[in-house]
Amino acid sequence: MGLYQRWRRLRLAGLRACALHTGREAAGSTPPRWLVERLGLFEELWAAHVRRLESLAQKEHRTIQITLPGGQKVEAAAWNTTPYQLAKQISSTLADTAVAAQVNGEPYDLERPLETDSDLRFLTFDSTEGKAVFWHSSTRVLGAAAEQLLGAVLCRGPSTECGFYHDFFLGKERTLRGSELPVLERICQELTTAAQPFRRLEASQDQLRQLFKDNPFKLRLIKEKVTGPTATVYGCGMLVDLCRGPHLRHTGQIGGLKLLTNSSSVWRSPGAPETVQRVAGISFPTAEELKTWEEWREEAELRDHRRIGKEQELFFFHELSPGSCFFLPRGTRVYNALVTFIRAEYTRRGFSEVKTPTLFSTKLWEVSGHWEHYQEDMFALHPPGPRRDNPISHPTDTLALKPMNCPAHCLMFAHRPRSWRELPLRLADFGVLHRAEASGSLGGLTRLRCFQQDDAHIFCAPDQLEAEIRGCLDFLRSVYAVLGFSFRLALSTRPSGFLGEPCLWDQAEQVLQRALEEFGEPWDLCPGDGAFYGPKIDVHLRDALGRPHQCGTIQLDFQLPLRFDLQYKGQAGALERPVLIHRAVLGSVERMLGVLAESCGGKWPLWLSPFQVVVIPVGPEQEAYAREAQQGLRAAGLVGDLDTDCTLTLSRRVRRAQLANYNFQFVVGQREQSKKTVNIRTRDNRRLGERDLMEAVRRLLELQSSRVPDAEEIF
């Protein structure tokens, strides 16, 4: 029985009783049976949990040593003293601002009793870890509101780098309307005002199945994710949810909460995928911080790449090709400039660009392992059967559009014998990729079904690995410096389901760590976040508004060389296995273009700009010379437009060009025409004066080739 059928059998009556209502009606309505039963069982388990803690505190009454930040040691009572009590002893400010603790490096609830000697650290909203806890707790509030208001079946609710979201199921025919968000937000605010405590307890697998017997999504998670005898659940008001935690002490610590968007997403399951509703939001400790964020968001909305793309006629989308972008001439100019930049770096750094097919037999993806793990995200094609004029022809394989380039590059490496003299072999590919993204997850250029990457794969000998990683890191730094991005790196190590030998993983992780330490940029350690096939370095860049984006990556892969049996003849004459490095700097070129559009607010640097120069004649008599100037710009490979609209005054035409973000305006009058010069102004209305036309073109070419961010300032 599928998830939907099970949900319909178990919950339809309860959902009918939970039709949409206002927050005031919610307070007075009778909760559905399933919610009351679940809460009743939780309260029974909670009472037993409290009795157990009291018993442990009495039977194991002992003093433990707690090391506070700064090295100070204090005494505490095992199974009794909590991190929150210690925070209050340090200062009332810390107790009020702490959102969670870290005990011996592990996340820990502030109200959870300490059990043994510990190193204690407090997390606040100012830290990355603290924000994750705060937003994770906020998504529990959203889940509680969705249950009470909509009778929703909760799926998952993680924090993100910029807030949180919750997925929930309303039935096949029911979607969440945008007009319902304010009501849902009002319920969330009522729950935060109530300052409901988060209560943590451990439940056995049987107890978990009983608690979530009416939620097939949670039952699926319990079956797939709960491998030990117990798992943690949290109660908050009427909400009971499966969660590792930690969480805030109570919902009242959330001073400001706002729901932002609603969309559809897909819950992947062994049966048919289910469409679920996704609501995203943001929250802060105070209402003032939320207000500040909303002001920042208004600025970000003015910079939305979809808005800029429309106003500047860079690109558009059409319902007849969902998830794909139509790049107009100006947008293509920016796109090509980015690709040209990376190609120049490839040449300088010893990469060889290749082209590989778009369509492959699924046998390739079976060899690579992608068909097993990634099939639902691929577009598969079933070729027609035997032709009528040749009924005995053999059926063809199922084909699939490639979602990544690495298997094709493995075929390229393996197509002939290889020698150690050819290594490292660096193959770069701008091939078009296709991924079957859910319609609800599509959003402008940030997530597409059809896109290109600055994708490259390095096949190297093990003793070349460290040098290649250093080269990849230098590649990242050089490109991001030109694009004006700061960035932070994260080393993701061996996950629980890794493939390969542990000693090989240890060596690779040590190589990556040494390269990061020598690189000199700040980096974080993310234990267990590596891919199943190898450790990786994730790159989190920040744009001009301080927003994080993950675009670049460096990944080691031990599995594809094994799966494709890649070998080369070593110096001693024996066959050896290469190491494979996946790397990208821009990531998706389309996504990077969107990030850049928002970062610069449509004021493109000269080398990327689709609005480099506009030539403006003072009057009709100068139009012929203006066209000559325009042709000179275009002949040099620059973007040169012409404004001959003499119905407007010269000052209004100059102002129009500046508002359109033309980097430079070349004004030509009678004097300039007679001397073959141009009078130059910038988009910020700096008057650079009269310059020889050909000299000005040469200077623009110099600035374009050097890819400076401030050509207008240094012209």
What span, in angstroms and rounded, lies between the C-alpha atoms of 536 and 659?
43
- What pLDDT digit, counting tens, does each position of 569-583 carry? 999 999 999 999 999
Read off the pLDDT of each residue in 468-492 and give the average, rounded to a whole number.
93
Residue 35 clears pLDDT 60, i.e. is over it: yes
- What pLDDT digit, counting tens, does each position of 67-103 carry? 998 889 999 999 999 999 999 999 999 999 999 999 9
Residues 385/395, Cβ–Cβ less than 8 Å: yes
Mean per-residue pLDDT of the chain: 89
pLDDT at 200: 96
Q: How confident is the model at residue 543 (pLDDT cuts 50, 70, 90)?
A: confident
Cis-peptide into 424, omega within 30 deg: yes
pLDDT at 376: 84
Which residues are within 8 A (CB) of 530 and not within 5 positions of it... i.e. 6 or more apart? 492, 493, 494, 495, 498, 536
pLDDT at 5: 42
Which residues are within 8 A (CB) of 593 and not within 5 positions of it... i.e. 6 or more apart? 305, 331, 334, 335, 338, 445
pLDDT at 382: 79
CA-wise closest residue to 212 among 272, 147, 133, 269: 147
pLDDT at 371: 87
Token match 């197509």: residue?
Answer: 415
Q: Catalytic site residues?
A: 406, 435, 453, 455, 457, 536, 582
Read off the pLDDT of each residue in 131-159 and give the average, rounded to a whole number.
94
- What pLDDT digit, counting tens, does each position of 325-365 carry? 999 999 999 999 999 999 999 999 999 999 999 999 999 99
Residues 573/417, Cβ–Cβ less than 8 Å: no
- Angle (CA) 700-703-706 rounded to 5° is 145
- What pLDDT digit, counting tens, does each position of 668-701 carry? 999 999 999 999 999 999 999 999 999 999 999 9
pLDDT at 1: 41
Residue 271 CA, distance from chain mean position: 27
Q: How confident is the model at residue 23 (pLDDT cuts 50, 70, 90)?
A: very low
% pLDDT > 90, the chain: 71
Backbone angles phi, psi at 211, to 5 degrees: -60, -40
Q: Retrieve residue 148's tokens.
A: 């009470």
pLDDT at 397: 77
pLDDT at 98: 96
Reduced to 3 states (helix: H, G, I; strand: E, B; else coil), residue 152 is coil
Q: Which amino acid is at 149?
A: L
pLDDT at 527: 84
Backbone angles phi, psi at 234, to 5 degrees: -125, 140
What span, in angstroms and rounded, lies between the C-alpha atoms of 568 and 571?
10
pLDDT at 172: 79
